[in-house]
Structure 1
């Protein structure tokens, strides 16, 4: 689904910001693990612009119990369910929330898989795939949103369209 050039820049910026949430949660799979250790220069340059957001988010999570749940509920009820906010922003916020939910499932399942298999290569492959997948989705979504278009991610965008 395409959006025309009449999308205001403020909506484009507010539509792109929520994609930081799944990216910051995916850094766990890259930071101190495999890919950032193998390619420290490339990943530090690629993630340099979001370092202040990551630091603020990390402090927020450490200081407030259930901060992730509070943020999730706040975004869902204050933005996604608010009919006064444009559909473009609500679409992007809900899509970012669903990406973050996928990461939450990975956070629950991967420790079980990595302990049960005990293969470093498989664990490294899983962690790198998750990090690179979320990073690519982040880059694509932000690029499309800044252009004023909907970022169509298979299956996730269909679920978002059914909810909005």
Structure 2
């Protein structure tokens, strides 16, 4: 921007100096456009054919993709405990999943095993479709991101009256 004021203060070039510095300065290209668009009457006479390929995703692929999201769902329910105590009607929505959740929590290291089973068995398996592998990888990424608040809570939580407990309650 500073060079604009310098250009304004410089003397204007005369035609003789202009022709010496730029030999083709007198060449003026035509002002006609390079692209020529057809007239509207020509466009209306053409018929447009649209072809679409529709390959529905098989039901088994959709089922495996949906089931892969149970891992981050089960691991995220612990963050809703403050909401469930404050609004008991929200807990009614989770009641049908409680038997599966209790089975999941009763197995030691179930989250760790499910994480690696999902990653190695589905995400890295080329026999599954790209749709299934994408959704499984997204579920694995969500599960990894759910660990970050858990680690912060464990670091900052010195008890039931500490700063970590208050931050966890405000974050939920």
User: Shorter-chain-normalised TM-score: which range?
Assistant: 0.5 to 0.7
Whole-angstrom CA distance in 1 between matches of 2:97 and 2:76: 13
Selected match of 1:57 from 104, 121, 129: 104
For 1:122, the equivalent position in structure 2 comes to 167
- Which of 1 and 2 has greater Rg? 2
Following superposition of structure 1 onto structure 2, how do residues 20-99 of structure 1 map, counting pairs within 5 Å?
Answer: 20-31=70-81, 34-41=82-89, 43-60=90-107, 64=108, 66-99=109-142
More helix by share: 1
Match of 1:57, SS?
Answer: helix
Whole-angstrom CA distance in 2 between matches of 1:105 and 1:119: 14
Please give the TM-score of this superposition, normalised by the length of structure 2.
0.60
**Gapped runs of 5+ residues in structure 1?**
129-164
Q: Give the Å deviation of 1:121.
A: 4.7
Output one character per residue of 1:51-72: Cα deviation in whole Å (capped at 9) or x when no partner: 2321221112xxx3x3322221
Q: Give the Å deviation of 1:97.
A: 0.8
Q: How many residues align?
A: 117
Q: Give the Å deviation of 1:81.
A: 0.6
Cα–Cα, structure 1 residues 53 and 5, in superposed 2: closer, same or farther, change >3 Å? farther
**Gapped runs of 5+ residues in structure 2?**
1-53
Whole-angstrom CA distance in 2 between matches of 1:100 and 1:45: 24
For 2:12, the equivalent position in structure 1 comes to none
Cα–Cα, structure 1 residues 10 and 122, in superposed 2: closer, same or farther, change >3 Å? same
Q: Is the 8 A contact 2:123 2:136 kept in 1?
A: yes
Output one character per residue of 1:12-70: Cα deviation in whole Å (capped at 9) or x when no partner: 11111111111111111223xx11100112x222213322321221112xxx3x33222
Q: Is the 8 A contact 2:76 2:146 kept in 1?
A: yes
For 1:8, the equivalent position in structure 2 comes to 58
Greater relative contact order (Cα 8 A, min sep 6): structure 1 or 2?
Answer: 1
